[in-house]
Amino acid sequence: MTIEIGRFSEAPSSDVEDTGAKAAEQQKPPELVYGSAEEFLHEQLLPTYVRDVDGRAAKWCIEWYFHPEAVSRVEALWRAWEHLRLDGATGISVWFKDHADHHMSVLLDPRGPFYKCDMQKHRDPEHLEPNKAPAGWFPDVRTIPV
């Protein structure tokens, strides 16, 4: 028996099951296009973000994966792309403006993470190794009761 009271009508049980299945499908995260940051780099980013990498105005390292900053930035670009591609209106434009243009400018900069490398040879980057601050200057906030 169905009770008709407008929007709040009691639905037959098969409708409830269909609605539950649709809700579960809507909550399922969308499938990724690319399975890794490296796959994204080779199949999407570099084929579409083409620049003249001459070593003067732009640099890249053929072994980019040895540069932690580069790995983090490519990972960020991939994850942002996977999210923003779902916005059919302006998602990819936002991705280029807010993500690709920013991160690629840093990565390709002659003084960026690949400054010692070129397209023929990787050279390990020099890491900053600052001194630790005196004890107590930066307390661990995870141990401070809220």
Other residues' Cβ atoms within 10 Å of the Cβ of residue 81: 20
This model's pTM is above 0.75: no
At 88 the three-state DSSP class reads coil
Torsion angle of the four alpha carbons 46, 47, 52, 58, in this order, in degrees rounded to the nearest 10: -10
Residue tagged 């302006």 (tokens): 90
Residue 128: predicted pLDDT:
82
Give the model confidence (pLDDT) of 6-58 as tens digits: 444 455 555 555 666 676 667 888 999 999 999 999 999 999 999 988 888 99
